[in-house]
Amino acid sequence: MRELTLETKEALRVMGEYLEKLIPGMEVLITELRGNRKADTDTFLKNCTDSFNWMVEIYNLTSDVINEGKERIKKEEINPGIIALGDALKEKNDGKTADALESRIIPFLKQLKDAVNEIQNQ
């Protein structure tokens, strides 16, 4: 594996730390969307989706490193999940949003977290 630049190492470190918080936060959000709404659920949802978008941006910037040597994440597999989440958000459908988060977004984030951990431990 090639030597990682300081910027790439920092991006991966930040991503790993952030995913440690984002994934459990999204799991809490799912319970809120499935009938346990709070006064701040909409704000929480926006924060989680903004955070997810940020993770995708960082992934896009580091995907060559993440997938160097072996394909750890197939970008084309997350695209349908992003579309499903976007559609659910447009519809303001809590159930569909929770389903998209649980079945598509969180698995991608966990896969990303595992890939980042693997790279950092090399």
Residue 12 CB partners (closer than 8 Å, separation 6+):
4, 62, 65, 116, 119, 120
pLDDT at 69 over 90: no
d(CA 105, CA 99): 9
Find the mean pLDDT for residues 5-11: 82
* Residues 31-65: tens digit of each pLDDT: 999 999 999 999 999 999 999 999 999 999 899 98
Q: Scanning the structure block, which residue is given the tokens 């030597």? A: 3
Sign of CA dihedral 108, 113, 118, 122: positive
Kindly report the pTM of this predicted structure.
0.91
Q: Which helix (H) or strand (E) holds 16?
A: helix 6-33
CA angle 29, 110, 89 (to 5 degrees): 40
* Residues 86-114: tens digit of each pLDDT: 999 999 999 999 999 999 999 999 999 99
Find the mean pLDDT for residues 56-79: 89
